[in-house]
């Protein structure tokens, strides 16, 4: 049965898909974080909400937060205070527009997919600064400034390592990048793909302000940093929800750019029977697990060590990678064909 929709109806369907999928992914990823961290720490994690191994823990948390009192500090700048979580949350959702689950399972295959991704995700930096400044709290201020410095510093390695892939693939569209990747995905071209992947993942953890790069939200020092004064739904949307959604998005983008997206793991014909989005989900889940694994394992880096790492290690490495990728594209373009 042919369904033809007008442009506006198609737009509404796509919006509905995103608004349905993103919270669902967040809940799954959040639950995975609880359980993975728990088992790494020799404990069980949530067991009661929902009955079976506490699957409904985040739903219960969400309900609880809805009931909480909305406290705004008296000295806070009210308009900015209320706007900040929105400024953090909306970019996190908009990133999902271009993530390809399969060749055609994508909300909108923009020609400038990668560019759009990187641009949108960097808008949340302003939200963090807004949150910290408007809270009228010294700890929040310290956290916001740390976050601002960190996020800006780690934008560069992400952009550069993504640029490497764009150069090698010749297109910024995410579907196009997946289809242009030869096998084995990150190991080709030798040396560049793997290093770019590591740089991307490392800066991704820093962009997400997740441990070991979670200085801005260092709980034992400045008690959630920029978001100290937030409570209730503002806190959930601005801090928790956005972070987890961003984390899933980063895992998905990493899988798309470096691990071959919806292509099977090995180009063995029987594996083609398994639909592409299964491969995509597997790869993204693996990267998500890496993010979750790193959190309980390492202590956190100090802010100046963090900055040193970005400016003195990651950026020179990624600049060199861009050079190397350019050389490949110029002198051996045939080797880059899938």
Partner 1 sequence: MTVDSRDELKNPQEVIDELARGSLQTEQMLLNVGPQHPATHGVFRLLATIDGEVLVDAEPVIGYMHRGYEKLVEARDYRQITNLVSRMDWLSNIQNELPMWMAVEALMELEVPPRAQYMRVVMVEANRILNHLMFFASFGAELGAITPTFYAFREREDIQAAMETATGGRMHFGYMRAGGLKEDVPRGFLQAMLAAVRQVIDRMDQYYNLLVGNEIFKARTIGVGVLEPEVAYNYGVSGPIARGSNINFDVRKDEPYLVYDQFDFDVPMGTSGDCFDRFWVLLHEVYESARIIEQAIEGMPSGPILGKVPRVIQPPEGEVYIRTENSLGELGYYLISDGDKRPYRMKIRTPSYSNVSALPYVLKGTFVSDMIAILGSFFFVLGDIDR
Task: List contacts with partner 1 (CB under 8 A).
Answer: 40-43, 138-139, 142, 211-212, 214-215, 218-221, 223, 295-305
Distance CA 122, CA 204 (A): 12
Distance of closest approach, residue 40 Cβ to partner 1, in angstroms: 7
Question: Cβ of residue 62: shortest distance to partner 1, in angstroms?
Answer: 23
Report, in Å, the least distance between residue 308 CB and partner 1: 10
Q: How far apart are CA 257 and CA 165, in angstroms?
A: 7
For partner 1, the closer CB: 177 or 243: 243
3 or 74: CB nearest partner 1: 74
Q: Is 262 exposed, middle or buried (0-12, 13-18, 19+ CB in 10 A)?
A: buried
Omega before 189 cis (within 30°)? Answer: yes
- CA dist 200 and 113 (Å) reads 17
Residue whose CB is less far from partner 1, 86 or 294: 294
Residue 97's nearest CA partner among 117, 111, 115, 112 is 117
Strands (E), the chain: none
Token pair, residue 259, equals 């691990």
Q: How far is the CB of 298 from partner 1 (least distance, A)?
A: 5
**With respect to partner 1, which residue has the nearer C-beta, 216 or 261?**
216
Closer residue to partner 1 in complex, CB, 65/139: 139
Choose between 42 and 270: whose C-beta lies nearer to partner 1.
42
Beta carbon nearer to partner 1, 109 or 303: 303
**CA distances from residue 40 to 27, 61, 285 in whole angstroms, order as listed:** 20, 22, 17
Residue 7 CA to residue 161 CA, distance in Å, equals 35
Closest approach of partner 1 to the CB of residue 215, in Å: 7
Least distance between partner 1 and beta carbon 301 (Å): 6
Nearer to partner 1, 70 or 219 (CB): 219
Pair of tokens at residue 82: 């209320």
Nearest distance from residue 288's CB to partner 1, in Å?
19
For residues 223 and 217, what is the distance between their CA atoms, to the nearest angstrom?
7
Q: How far is the CB of 304 from partner 1 (least distance, A)?
A: 7
Paired tokens of 280: 């995509």
Residue reference for tokens 């991307």 = 200
Q: What DSSP string describes 62-119? A: HHHHHHS-----TTS-HHHHHHHHHHHHHHHHHGGGG--SSSS--S---TTHHHHHHH
Instruction: State the CB neighbour count (10 A cutoff) for residue 33.
Output: 22
């Amino acid at each position: 049965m042919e369904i033809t929709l007008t442009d506006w109806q198609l737009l509404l369907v796509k919006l509905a898909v995103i608004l349905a999928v993103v919270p669902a992914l967040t809940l799954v990823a959040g639950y995975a974080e609880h359980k993975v961290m728990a088992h790494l720490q020799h404990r069980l994690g949530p067991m009661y909400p929902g009955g079976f191994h506490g699957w409904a823990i985040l739903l219960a948390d969400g309900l609880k937060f809805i009931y909480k009192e909305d406290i705004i500090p008296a000295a806070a700048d009210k308009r900015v205070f209320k706007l900040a979580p929105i400024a953090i949350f909306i970019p996190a959702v908009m990133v999902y527009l271009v993530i390809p689950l399969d060749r055609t399972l994508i909300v909108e295959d923009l020609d400038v997919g990668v560019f759009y991704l990187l641009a949108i995700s960097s808008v949340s930096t302003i939200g963090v600064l807004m949150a910290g400044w408007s809270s009228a709290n010294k700890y929040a201020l310290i956290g916001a400034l740390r976050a601002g410095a960190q996020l800006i510093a780690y934008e560069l390695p992400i952009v550069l390592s993504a640029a490497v892939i764009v150069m090698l693939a010749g297109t910024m569209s995410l579907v196009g990048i997946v289809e242009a990747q030869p096998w084995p995905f990150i190991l080709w071209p030798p040396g560049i793909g793997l290093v770019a992947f590591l740089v991307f993942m490392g800066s991704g953890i820093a962009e997400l302000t997740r441990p070991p790069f979670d200085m801005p939200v260092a709980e034992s020092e400045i008690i959630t940093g920029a978001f100290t004064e937030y409570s209730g739904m503002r806190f959930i949307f601005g801090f928790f929800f956005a972070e987890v959604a961003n984390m899933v998005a980063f895992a998905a983008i990493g899988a798309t750019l470096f691990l071959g997206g919806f292509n099977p793991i090995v180009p063995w014909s029987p594996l083609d029977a398994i639909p592409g989005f299964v491969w995509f989900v597997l790869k993204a889940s693996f990267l998500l697990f890496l993010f979750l694994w790193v959190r309980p394992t390492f202590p956190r880096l100090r802010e100046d060590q963090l900055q040193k790492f970005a400016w003195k290690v990651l950026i020179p490495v990624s600049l060199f990678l861009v050079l190397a990728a350019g050389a490949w594209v110029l002198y051996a373009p045939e080797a880059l064909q899938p």
